[in-house]
Amino acid sequence: MTRGQVKRRLALLWWRHLAVALAPLLVFNLLFGGGGHTVMSMPMFIAGLASMFVSLPLFSAYKHALIATQQALDSDEEPAAWLELDRVRLRALLGAALPAWIAALAVLAGLEAIPLVLLALSSIVLHSLYRIPRQLG
């Protein structure tokens, strides 16, 4: 694969992971939304906010993989560096999806719309950190 094809594939995978992160929230909200407010809604919101901190070490690993990929460009190690970047980014994207997934579970606890939107937006923002920069390559 050429470098352009790899970057295109990684960009498409990013969109796919974003859809996988937000789909459970949308489906749960359509199926179970509008339920009553329970005692568990606030702890679920706090858990969703706290789950954003999972991304801190994952982002550090992603940043190091980006630097290693940049250094491996135009060498024999370039394909392996792209694979490693993809592996590290997959873990980071799973961590970035946690706030939206916890929000999907919080729908069952009766969490209101504004906190749900905030958790979904936090997942979107975290996902945006893991886009492949244009400067790479």
- Total number of domains constituting the chain: 1
CB 68 within 8 A of CB 84: yes
Once rounded to an integer, what is the mean pLDDT over residues 49-71? 95
Tens of pLDDT, residue by residue over 84-99, are 999 999 999 999 999 9
Residue 88 inside a domain? The answer is yes
Q: Which domain holds residue 55?
A: 3-130
Tens of pLDDT, residue by residue over 29-38, are 999 877 677 8
CB 25 within 8 A of CB 107: yes
pTM of the model as a whole: 0.90
Residue 137 inside a domain? The answer is no
Residue 9 inside a domain? The answer is yes
Residue 136 inside a domain? The answer is no
Residue 21 confidence (pLDDT) above 90: yes
Confidence band of 66 (pLDDT split at 50, 70, 90) = very high
pLDDT of 87 reads: 97
